Amino acid sequence: MASWTSATGNCAVMAGKPSQRCVAGHHQPDKPSRGTVALMSTQHTVPSGPATDTRDLTKTVFGVFVPQGWKMELSSIDGAAAKWQKAVEVAVLAEELGYDSIWVYDHFHNVPRPAHETVFECWTTLAAISQRTSRVRLGQMVGCNSYREPSVLAKITSTIDVISGGRLDWGIGAGWYENEYKGYGFDFPRPKDRIGMLRESVQIVRSMWTEPETSFDGAYYQLSRAQCDPKPLQSPHPPIWIGGGGEQLTLRVVARFADCSNFGGKPDEWARKREILKGHCAAVGRDETTIRKTWSPEVFIRSTEAEIEAAGSKSFWGEALESWRDGNLVGTPEQVCEKIQTYVDLGCSGFVPWCADYPSTETMELFASQVMPNFR
């Protein structure tokens, strides 16, 4: 792989390595050869000003999930108050470490199965964390559209943007966890209808963010002169992240409405979905490169390969180690850098991983100190 210099942040060309170019201070390597990454020094400077603007597509952005209990990561901590303290502690640490954003899931029941274990609710969690942080951006990966009326979502998101000082990244998706739908009394429509509802919801929220009043007569939602005050602080509005990789329906919604996409897959799968997104963008006359493409894998980092192998798979779905490694960021810092570079070369410019060793912060700290600086 290409090498990066430390300290000055200037691009350097190493003998026998591919060339690199700098745009607005961002390292943009040409497609690298396989090899070892020369990691930057861990003594990097943590940003002190506002986090990177999500819409600044010249920069690669890095977020991280806050532990909130969905994946049972807080089950080893006794008591709800102590679990909450850990969530806040990690959020504050993420800001101190220089992450661009912190994220939460929008779920009510644990996975891989409901377990009567703490899961902190998405929007109240973000509201509280917004008052304990000042720079880092705040998002949901992604909100479930079915759980709240779009008019209420407009009000919630606008309020979060104001009380956070204009730091919201709004993530939204069609929803999928049928157990939660049934448990909480929501209808669980067929996929076509859930995605149709998502499309209308994005239109409603965006209108309520930007217009004095919104009236809407859709197939799924109807509003009459809905008001949303205060408006978000961000102009023209908070960035809209649409999650999901459905190739015929969801990616069409992304092409028309999203500032940022988020879909998964191993490199070949991810690349195929991007090509499909390009086609949907062409169909609506949009330049696909104006959409930030992002990926949200699990991440697990240790200093040596022996430690990785000794730890084994930490997949909460029970996936074998090699398969889990193939589809996520699992390995030494050098190996994780190589995997990120693979996705960068495919057009991915945003990474929002979930740390598989929570409540420990070892992976989170190694990612910030030995991985992120190589792409900034």
Beta bridge partners of 261: 242, 293
Ranking 39-53, 114-128, 315-329 by mean pLDDT, the lowest is 39-53
CB–CB of 264/296 below 8 Å? yes
Q: What is the pTM of this model?
A: 0.86
For the chain, the 3-state helix, strand and coil shares in percent, each to the nearest 5, are 35, 15, 45
Q: Which of 105, 205, 209 is nearest to 149 (CA)?
A: 205
Could you give the angle at which helices 122-130 and 80-97 cross, rounded to 10 degrees? Answer: 60
pLDDT above 50: residue 1 = no
Count of Cβ atoms closer than 10 Å to residue 314 Cβ: 18
pLDDT averaged over every residue in the chain = 89
Query: Is the pLDDT reported for residue 52 higher than 80?
Result: no
Is residue 355 a contact partner of residue 363, using CB atoms and an 8 Å limit?
yes
Residue 89 has pLDDT above 90, yes or no: yes
* Proportion of the chain above pLDDT 70, given as a percent: 86
Predicted confidence (pLDDT) per residue in 165-220, tens digit: 999 999 999 999 999 999 999 999 999 999 999 999 999 999 999 999 999 999 99
The residues facing 300 across adjacent strands are 330
**pLDDT: which is higher, 346 or 7:** 346
pLDDT of 15 strictly over 60: no
Residue 53 pLDDT more than 80? Answer: no
Mean pLDDT of 267-274: 97
Q: pLDDT for 349-361, tens place per residue?
A: 999 999 999 999 9
pLDDT above 50 (res 30): no
**Tell me, what's the pLDDT at 82?**
98
**What distance in Å separates the CA atoms of residue 37 and residue 15, rounded to the nearest whole number?**
14
Q: What is the pLDDT confidence band of residue 141, given thresholds at 50, 70 and 90?
A: very high
Give the model's confidence band at 28: pLDDT under 50 very low, under 70 low, under 90 confident, else very high.
very low
Identify which has the larger pLDDT, 25 or 318: 318
- pLDDT in the model for residue 10: 31
* Residue 71: predicted pLDDT: 96
C-alpha 107 chain-centroid distance:
15
Percent of the chain with pLDDT over 90: 83
pLDDT value at residue 39: 54
User: Cα dist. 280→249, 275, 283, 309, 338 in Å?
Assistant: 10, 9, 5, 41, 30
pLDDT value at position 291?
Answer: 98
Which CATH code fits 50-375? 3.20.20.30
- Per-residue pLDDT band for 93 (boundaries 50, 70, 90) equals very high
pLDDT of residue 24: 31
Q: What is the pLDDT of residue 370?
A: 98
Q: What is the pLDDT of residues 220-255, one digit of tens each?
A: 999 999 999 999 999 999 999 999 999 999 999 999
pLDDT for residue 2: 43
